[in-house]
C-alpha cells in the first residue's frame, strides 16, 4: 500500500516511514504544490482529519495524517492540541520546551508525581471517496526537570515514559523509542487496520 503523507515535518515523516515500513506501507511525500493546512480543530482527531482530507482531495489518492499532543496534568491538560505551537506560531522545539518547564515551575510542580503527563497520537487515513480509518496511541510518563539527550524532536528531551528505563525519549535510540512511543503504538495499530481483509482495508465501508 502507498499513502501520501500529509505532514511536511521531516522529523515526523521519518518516524512514520520507519514504523509503517515494517508493515509494507510506503509513504509518498506531500506535493510541494499543496499549501499548508490550517489546523484549527479543537481535537487531535479533528486536526488529523483536516490534513488527511486536504491531501486526499488534492492528489486523488489515499492520504495519511496524524496529530500529537502532550497533556500535562498540572497544566490542566495543556499544551494538548496546541503542543506544536505552545510558545506561539512558528515556535522552535526549544521554545516550546522552555515554556513548558517555565509553566510547571510557576505551578510549583517539582516531583515526578506532580509532573505527570502523557503523549497521545491520532493517526488517520482518508481515501478520496470519503472512507477513513482512525486509530490512536498513548504513553504515560512525566516531565523531567530539564532537557536530556540529543535525539528525537519536540518535547522528547523532557518526556520520561513510564514504560522505559528512566531515559527521556531524546536519550533513546530510534528503535527503543518506537517500541513504546505514542506514535509507534498509533501507527502499528494503523498498519494492522490497513492489512487486507476481504479484499480491502478496514474502513472500506466507512469509518
Catalytic residue set: 67
Share in percent of the chain as helix, strand, coil (round to 5): 40, 25, 40
How far, in Å, CA of 190 to CA of 171, rounded? 26
Do the strands 63-72 and 2-5 form a parallel or antiparallel pair, or are they unpaired?
A: parallel
> H-helix or E-strand containing 102?
helix 93-106
- Which residue's entry shows cell 498513548? 138
Question: In this structure, is the dihedral angle defined by the CA atoms of residues 137, 142, 147 and 150, taken in order, positive or negative?
Answer: negative
- Which residue's entry shows cell 482527531? 45
- Bridge partners of 123, per DSSP, are 66, 135
Amino acid at each position: 500500500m502507498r499513502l501520501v503523507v500529509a505532514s511536511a515535518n521531516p522529523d515526523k515523516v521519518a518516524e512514520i516511514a520507519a514504523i509503517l515500513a515494517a508493515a509494507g506501507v510506503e509513504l509518498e511525500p506531500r506535493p510541494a504544490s499543496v499549501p499548508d493546512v490550517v489546523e484549527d480543530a479543537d481535537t487531535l482527531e479533528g486536526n488529523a482529519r483536516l490534513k488527511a482530507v486536504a491531501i486526499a482531495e488534492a492528489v486523488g489518492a489515499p492520504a495519511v495524517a496524524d496529530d500529537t499532543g502532550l497533556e500535562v496534568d498540572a497544566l490542566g491538560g495543556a499544551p494538548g492540541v496546541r503542543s506544536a505551537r505552545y510558545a506561539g506560531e512558528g515556535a522552535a522545539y526549544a521554545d516550546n520546551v522552555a515554556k513548558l518547564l517555565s509553566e510547571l515551575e510557576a505551578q510549583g510542580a517539582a516531583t515526578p508525581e506532580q509532573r505527570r503527563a502523557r503523549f497521545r497520537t491520532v493517526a488517520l487515513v482518508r481515501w478520496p471517496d470519503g472512507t477513513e480509518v482512525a486509530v490512536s496511541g498513548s504513553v504515560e510518563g512525566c516531565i523531567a526537570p530539564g532537557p536530556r539527550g540529543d535525539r528525537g524532536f519536540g518535547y522528547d528531551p523532557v518526556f520520561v515514559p513510564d514504560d522505559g528505563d528512566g531515559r527521556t525519549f531524546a536519550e533513546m535510540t530510534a528503535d527503543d523509542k518506537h517500541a513504546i512511543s505514542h506514535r509507534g503504538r498509533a501507527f502499528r495499530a494503523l498498519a494492522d487496520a490497513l492489512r487486507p481483509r476481504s479484499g480491502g482495508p478496514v474502513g472500506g465501508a466507512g469509518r
